[in-house]
Structure 1
Amino acid sequence: MTNTNKKQLQIELDYTHLWKLLIDRQKKKEDLKRDAGISSASIARISKGENVNTETLLRICQYLECDIKDICEVKQVKNNEVK
C-alpha cells in the first residue's frame, strides 16, 4: 500500500552554470548554434529549463571544453514546484 500523503520530490536540471560559462567565455547562444551544432529548438528548451538529450549536452561540453557539471546541476524540487 502506498502513502499518498508523502510529498513527492522530482529532479530537474538547472542550466545557470551554462549561461555563466558562456558569459565568462564571451560566447552567445548563437555561437552554440553555429559552432557546436546545437539546434534553435534545443537552445530554447535549455533556456526554459526543459530537458534536452544527452548528446546535446555532450556537444556543448565538447565545444566549451568542460565537464557536464560545469554546465548544469541537478536540483530537487517539490512536486508542486515543477514547471
Structure 2
Amino acid sequence: MSRAPIQDVPIAEHPIRLGQFLKLAGLAEHGVHARELIEAEQVQVNGRLETRRGAQLRPGDVVAVGGQRARVAQPPIADTT
C-alpha cells in the first residue's frame, strides 16, 4: 500500500501550534475537531503520536491524520525585481 502524498502548507509565521495547523491544512474542520483528533490519539507529527494541541511545529514537520499528510512549509519568496 502506498502512502498519501504530502501537501505543503505555507505558513507566514513560525512556529505554529499543532491545533492551528490542523485547521489551516484542512485536516480538521474547526478548533473543536482538532482537539478531538488530538485527544483521540489520531495525530502524528514526524511519524510520532502527538497529544499536545499546543505543540509547536516548524518548517519541514509532517503532520498526519488518517490517510492525509501535510508539511509545514515556508511561504514562497516574493519576487521584488
More helix by share: 1
TM-score, reference length from structure 1 = 0.35
TM-score, reference length from structure 2 = 0.35
More strand by share: 2
Specify which structure has the bigger relative contact order, considering alpha-carbon pairs within 8 angstroms and separated by 6 or more residues: 1
